[in-house]
Every structure is written in structure tokens, then in C-alpha cells.
Structure 1
Amino acid sequence: MNNRKVLNALLGSTILSTLFSFVVIALTVFHHFQMQNSLKEIADKVDRGSNQG
């Protein structure tokens, strides 16, 4: 019985850890694309500014 409780606790911990990892990876990918778009917008503004002068 004690073994069963330990196995259930380990399984639950593993599942939670895996879900947390997926969330962190998803947020990292989202942040990467968000920063990429922001940097592209800044580069476009800089290009437009240098073409006006």
C-alpha cells in the first residue's frame, strides 16, 4: 500500500513537471516570435528614418 502511494505521488509529480515544461517551452517560443516582430518593426522605423534624410 505504501508503495502504491509513492508510485502515485511520483506519477503525479512527473505529469505536473512535464506540463510545466511544456508551458515554459510554449511561452519561450511565443516570446521569441513576439521579440522578433518587435525588432522587425524597430528596424523598419530605423530604415524609414534613414531614407528621409
Structure 2
Amino acid sequence: MGISISNNAGVSADFDNIVATPFGGAVPEPSTWALTIGGFGLAGATLRRRRAAIAG
């Protein structure tokens, strides 16, 4: 059993073996969170230094 979708232009798509999971997605690892937060921190520090250099 599958899902078939088509439109008036003759484009169609068939989906078979669709599996629904009870969870939205995987949880990132702690190292991924650390790199993301660190990257935002470095970007913020760079912008702050750049604004300070322009102002003074």
C-alpha cells in the first residue's frame, strides 16, 4: 500500500513503505552543541570587535 500523487501536468510521484517514527528526529551530540554555541560566540565577538574598531 502506498501513496500516489499526481497533478494536471502529468507529473506524478509514488511513495511506498512510509514509516512514521514517534520522535521528530535525532538529538545532536554534546560536541555538536558545543561547536555550534562556540561558533556563535566567536561570530558575536568578531562583530563586537569590528564595531568597536569602527566607533573608536
User: Deviations 1:6-51 (Å, cap 9, x if unpaired)?
Assistant: 00000000000000000000000001xxxxxxxxxxxxxxxxxxxx
Aligned counterparts, 1:6-45, within 5 A: 6-31=31-56
Higher relative contact order (CA 8 A, sep 6+): 2
Give percent identity, aligned residues only: 7
Runs of 4+ in 1 over 2 A off after TM superposition: none
Structure 2: segments with no counterpart, 5+ residues: 1-27
Structure 1: segments with no counterpart, 5+ residues: 32-53
TM-score by length of 2: 0.49
Higher normalized strand content (fraction of residues):
2
Q: Over aligned residue pairs, what C-alpha RMSD do you find?
A: 1.1
Number of residues of Structure 1 aligned to a counterpart in Structure 2: 29
